[in-house]
Amino acid sequence: MNHEYIDLPTVAHVEGAVRLPGSKSISNRILLLSALSQGDVAIVDLLASDDTAVMLAALRSLGVQWTEEKTATGTIHHVKGVAGVLPNKSADLFMGNAGTAIRPLTAALAVIGGDYTLHGVPRMHERPIGDLVDALNAAGTNVEYTGNPGFPPLHIKQGKIHAQRLSVRGDVSSQFLTALLMVAPLMAREHAITIDVIGELISKPYIEITLNLIRRFGVTVGQNGWESFTIEPGQVYQSPGTIHVEGDASSASYFLAAGAIAGGPVRVEGVGKDSIQGDVRFAAALEQMGVQITMGDNWIEAKSNGVLKAIDADFNHIPDAAMTIAIAALYADGTSTLRNIASWRVKETDRIAAMATELRKVGAIVEEGADYIKVTPPAVITPATIDTYDDHRMAMCFSLVSLDGAARKGNVMRINDPKCVGKTFPEYFAAFAAIAK
């Protein structure tokens, strides 16, 4: 693979099975919970990617010991829990562009206290963290901005938690609430801690993942709908012994969409009907578009039923996987509208703007708003050179535009900077080639 670009020839048909890499959201949550817990944790099938490497390196800098064991079937990471007391009281941490790493870690370090600096790539310094820092500092932590207020880089010093109630906005990123929930037991030493959500909570399925994993580590969270969450005092994270990381449901979306567009069946292994990830609901969106979906406990399969039906739906619950729907819309029988996706604007790039720009290159008519995108497919998809904005999901999404050979034999889609997929799925293009017939 050329590091500058990859050329994808037109593919008429896809079928086969893909074993998914581990979930990024689950992997980074489990790493931090394992580090904070009492006892040693064996993590099976942790995702190997840029974002998890960032978290592993940060934990090592903080004095958390871990080792990686390669087995015949995969990997096991052994993490020695520190029971909420970090060995290293000062560290300078590089967080790349990993929102799932910097946000919970900022909360943990702020509550534990010490002398820590956190910074990342230039785009990370444009991704908001102010709502989380405001909530923490109002409770007594001492987090300072060393660049633009409201954004990393950050300097964390020793604070003193005095609050029994915290409030955080829910409408920018669900990771702010996730971060507070994960550190609430560290704050609830003497008193219960209640976290109130201000406004609409977006991406609720990601909070479901957080709550599920917190409970797996032995802590009970009381829940009043999506308005508030309460953690009773005196609870400590306990090692669950061994914990398995599910396959990444967001990564599954590309292969399921491939089966929907270009025949199939394509089966993804590692997620299924028992998944704790909300992004498995992507399969239901494909069903709305007329795709034949079947599910097992640990697999999902997609098969085409002919031309896709256009969709008009709210995708607030699956913002990452919804990007794949915007590509599937190129193969639909009319205009598709993806609504309530304002969070796209503050992700690895401004995904609404990026998606609109690149879809137009292949011939689509696109209308973009503050929180929606409308895609009208072209009669024939035009081959193009796609820019990826250092955003793994842009690269993976646009690989799908090489499908459906009937209309344009022998033409090539070029994807610039394909190595950006290393953030979550370093082997993506090899896995995609394996189902292309």
**Angstrom distance (rounded) from CA 397 to CA 246:** 21
Residue 123 and residue 73 in contact, taking contact as beta carbons nearer than 8 Å: no
Q: How far apart are CA 333 and CA 250, in angstroms?
A: 25
Cβ density class 218-231: b for 16+ within 10 Å, e for less = bbebeeeeeeebbb
CA-wise closest residue to 200 among 230, 226, 233: 226
Of 221, 182, 188, nearest in space to 100 by CA: 182
Cα–Cα distances in Å, from 395 out to 74, 257, 346, 389? Answer: 26, 14, 18, 9
Q: Can the peptide bond before residue 153 be classed as cis, meaning omega within 30 degrees of 0?
A: yes
CA distance 396 to 236: 39
Both tokens of 369, joined, read: 């708003």
Say which DSSP state 12 is in.
S
Contact between 324 and 253 under an 8 Å Cβ cutoff? The reply is: yes
Locate the DSSP E strands across 139-221. 142-145, 154-157, 165-169, 193-198
Is residue 320 among the annotated active site residues? yes
> Whole-angstrom Cα distance, residue 160 to residue 137?
10
Token pair recorded at residue 173: 């990123």
Which residue among 50, 320, 387, 417 is the active-site one?
Answer: 320
Say how many Å lie between the first and final Cα of the chain, rounded: 19
* The one-letter amino acid at 142: N
Residue 170: which of 226, 247, 98 has the closest Cα?
Answer: 226
Residues acting as catalytic residues:
320
